[in-house]
Amino acid sequence: MLPEIKTIVYASDIRQGSRVVFRMAIKQALANNAQIVFLHACEPFDSEMQDMVRDYLPQRISNLHAARILEGHHQRVHERIERFLREELEADIHPMPEPKIVVRSGKPDQVILAVAEEFNAELIVMGDRAAPALSRMFLGSTAQNVIHQSSVPVLIVPLAKPQ
- Domain chopping of the chain, boundaries: 7-159
Q: How confident is the model at residue 138 (pLDDT cuts 50, 70, 90)?
A: very low
Q: Identify which of 50-54, 69-73, 126-130 has the greatest average pLDDT.
A: 126-130
Instruction: Return the CATH fold of 7-159.
Output: Rossmann fold (3.40.50)
Q: Find, among 31, 54, 35, 24, the residue nearest to 121 by Cα.
A: 35
| CB burial string 9-30: b at 16+ within 10 A, e below | bbbbbeeeebeebbebbbebbe
Contact assessment for residue 14 and residue 40, using Cβ atoms and an 8 Å cutoff: yes
Q: How confident is the model at residue 91 (pLDDT cuts 50, 70, 90)?
A: low
Q: Report the C-alpha gap between 125 and 160 in whole angstroms.
A: 16
Q: At 75, which amino acid appears?
A: Q
In the chain, pLDDT over 70 holds for what percent of residues? Answer: 71
Q: How confident is the model at residue 35 (pLDDT cuts 50, 70, 90)?
A: very high
